[in-house]
Structure 1
């Protein structure tokens, strides 16, 4: 009987600890979500109810190193919980011990690492990214806690391996795999550091620009149907004047119309793709609005801007000074990186709007988008002209030539 009483006490203790841990994770996720929404806010302004993580972090603390170690420990402890859940005999005391270690150590430490990752030391972009990835770690950990059996009994031995992977409860092993993935994302971000994060982002933006370039080139190479001529094109415009009046400026109305139809009809995947691919017009052979010369100029600008992304990765990002900066080092690098990132992230959007205007064969919108893309490209190069110490170097001369070349296109 004493043994049974001890088992009952262990079961009740585990159930209580699981509920407490889930509540703690929920509160910590609220802290991380607030940081995601306002990455520029100071650590002291981040709410953390009933959690001792509100204090301003120690400036000597390396946030990314702490995030790396915390995520690694959460990964290891999550693995222990998964194994304890699916193996017999089930020992609630062992699971409770692992949960206690998680709640007392790596879980709050992970949140502290995000709070220590202040925008003026690590950039707003990295702080927001780390908060998002840490939030996912806690979310997946909560899902893993749901797989801990109530009443402290594992599934029958013959069913346990299969049920561990089966829907709808998903089971402990798939939940553990998702937790591993989330923890690995935090570890990889920490290993890459601030510089590695921005190198990856710039590569993604460059790839987007390359995609836009290729799509515009392919579209420009399309031939109009044999039956199309200028008169047909004019008649087509006249017939759709009323519809065009309803379109918002800058929207790809044929694509927009397709998406509207999708909401009201049942189409196969291939039919959806076919409608999307055929939702734009081709350049008429006579080209009365001189769309093609504008397209050629835009393609040249796109190639030059893509080259800018490639060059700045080598000449600026790979020569980034250590972040966070030391007490006697320049603290202007992080804000400058954020400004650079905003400018570089805007260019793919601007050129995307330009492509949309081309597909509409709208000369006025094309000219406006071309002017905007030129303005954004020149603004981006201004932020990249000087090195991280504020002086000029070989890349400064390159950006001067870039501005001259793109401005005269």
Structure 2
């Protein structure tokens, strides 16, 4: 027979864990401010994505066990309490720590701002879905608590209703789906994410250029995106995450910093092209010309940033980009 004290403990623990989830989600919320020195991590995490991967896999397993405990009568508070404790102290803590990790200079594990932002968003989503599981636990525990208070504790314990079972299974399925998305993100890595994002940016850029077919320079910018994807983004060294944040020879930014800067420029260019289109529609020729020059300057800065390979050597893209710059200046 389920003890009232155990049920009360389960209710209290579930509420405490819900408050913890709210705190975690708040800590991972997007911030418009740049990362300050106080936000960097004292403890090094050499491979944040690997920690997130293992934490997510473990959370998925624990959630499966929890769902079975919830739908299989009788309700066993002690087992559920133990499982919630395992989740809070293990995978939840691990993935939030890894998602929040910003290395200090000289530390390893810099996944870059682009990946860090995406990881935070997906971990927040997973925390939200796991919060729905806690809602079900609390609902069923409070139902049991009310039944005991009404003197039903001595009668045969009824299991969950079919509706409750479906709610538990549905909430579990949402957690699984969120886990799978996060696991795929870790498997694809930084390269997979940035290639996907730049392909999306290129599609937006080409749509904007379609309205300005007569501007030869803009067509060339579309070609540049494709070249950057093939020769720079797909060749980004995933192992750089495992290297200290300070550049080895101390003469320039790390690959991670270069990638963040490149992505920032590539995100800005389609917006500038939209401004060019707006100037043409307004029949403001001077504004259109100035904005086009600004756009060309942005593309040149993107090229200059990664003119050499990630290891600092001239390669095929180096020669191609030099010819490209000459061609766009002559267009």
Q: Do they fold alike, i.e. is TM over 0.5?
A: yes
Tell me, in whole angstroms, the C-alpha distance in 1 between the residues paired with 2:121 and 2:8: 34
Q: Identify the residue that residue 348 of structure 1 maps to in structure 2.
A: 270
Is 1:323 equivalent to 2:240 in the alignment?
A: yes
TM-score, length-scaled by structure 2: 0.83
Is 1:205 equivalent to 2:201 in the alignment?
A: yes
Greater relative contact order (CA < 8 Å, ≥ 6 in sequence)? 2
TM-score, length-scaled by structure 1: 0.68
Give aligned pairs, total: 306
Quote how far apart the aligned CAs of 1:107 are. Answer: 0.4
Tell me, in whole angstroms, the C-alpha distance in 2 between the residues paired with 1:118 and 1:192: 21
Q: Identify the residue that residue 105 of structure 1 maps to in structure 2.
A: 90
Is 1:150 equivalent to 2:72 in the alignment?
A: no
Is 1:296 equivalent to 2:211 in the alignment?
A: no
RMSD of aligned alpha carbons: 2.6
Structure 1, residues 308-333: CA drift from partner, whole Å, max 9, x if none?
Answer: 11111221122222221435973711
Q: Identify the residue that residue 24 of structure 1 maps to in structure 2.
A: 20
| Structure 1 residues 124 and 156: CA distance shift in structure 2, 3 A | closer
The unaligned stretches of length 5 or more in structure 2 are: 145-157
Considering only CA atoms, is the larger Rg found in Structure 1 or Structure 2?
Answer: 1
- Contact (CA 8 Å) 1:39, 1:119: kept in 2 or not? no
Q: 2:117 aligns with which of 117, 121, 128?
A: 128
Aligned residue for 2:234, secondary structure, equals helix
| Structure 1 residues 397 and 145: CA distance shift in structure 2, 3 A | same
The unaligned stretches of length 5 or more in structure 1 are: 47-54, 165-170, 218-294
| Structure 1 residues 326 and 93: CA distance shift in structure 2, 3 A | same
Quote how far apart the aligned CAs of 1:207 are. Answer: 1.5
Structure 1: 4+ residue segments shifted above 6 A: none
Q: 2:229 aligns with which of 305, 313, 330?
A: 313
Structure 1, residues 167-215: CA drift from partner, whole Å, max 9, x if none?
Answer: xxxx33333333223222221221122222211221111111122233x
Tell me, in whole angstroms, the C-alpha distance in 2 between the residues paired with 1:355 and 1:140: 42
- Contact (CA 8 Å) 1:40, 1:119: kept in 2 or not? no
| Structure 1 residues 143 and 204: CA distance shift in structure 2, 3 A | same
Quote how far apart the aligned CAs of 1:142 are. Answer: 1.4
5 Å matches for 1:45-56?
45=39, 56=42
Tell me, in whole angstroms, the C-alpha distance in 2 between the residues paired with 1:117 and 1:193: 17
